[in-house]
Amino acid sequence: MTKAKVVFNRIVFDTQNYGCFDKNQDHMVSTLYFSLDVAEKHYDNLYVEVRQPYGANFESEPLEVGKPIGPYRGPWNHDAFCDLCETYYRKAIGSKGSGIRITGSTNVRMTNYTFTFRHTGEFDLPESGADSW
């Protein structure tokens, strides 16, 4: 198997609405920016949108991770990539986050907040000919 190395470098928290009076409206939508190294090739300027469903606990429930956008077109392991995205996101936001620390807040609303820090991870890619993005 081939290894893919992902280097996340920035999150843009596009919209967040935490702790509003209607718990079914709590949500977040963000964009993660990263680079990718696969088989000695480097790909820059990739990004992926992540979403927390309305009403979901933003600290413990899984993120919905979209299809990455960028120049890479080879085999892909979306489940493993999702795990890396979630790890990066959780390092930035929540009660243990280093960027936006939210605990027990009410009526918090943010838009277009950018947080920059690096996080590197690796995952296995399936053999060529497998699903790609």
The answer to whether residue 109 is domain-embedded is yes
The domain containing residue 8 runs over which residues?
2-117
The answer to whether residue 122 is domain-embedded is no
The answer to whether residue 133 is domain-embedded is no
pTM above 0.75, yes or no: yes
Coil, strand, or helix at residue 7? strand
Q: Is 70 left (phi over 0), alpha (psi -120 to 50) or beta?
A: left
133 residues of the chain, pLDDT tens digit each:
899 999 999 998 875 545 545 555 556 788 999 999 999 999 999 999 998 776 666 677 788 999 999 999 999 999 999 999 999 988 887 655 545 545 554 444 555 678 889 999 999 999 865 566 5
Q: How far is CA 79 from the centre of its chain?
A: 12
The answer to whether residue 128 is domain-embedded is no
The answer to whether residue 51 is domain-embedded is yes
The answer to whether residue 31 is domain-embedded is yes
List C-alpha distances in Å: 12 to 23, 38, 84, 89, 107. Answer: 23, 25, 17, 10, 20
The DSSP code for 132 is: B
Tokens of 124: 């296995």
How many domains would you assign to the chain? 1
The answer to whether residue 126 is domain-embedded is no
The answer to whether residue 8 is domain-embedded is yes
Please give the Cα distance from 93 to 113 (Å, whole number). Answer: 11
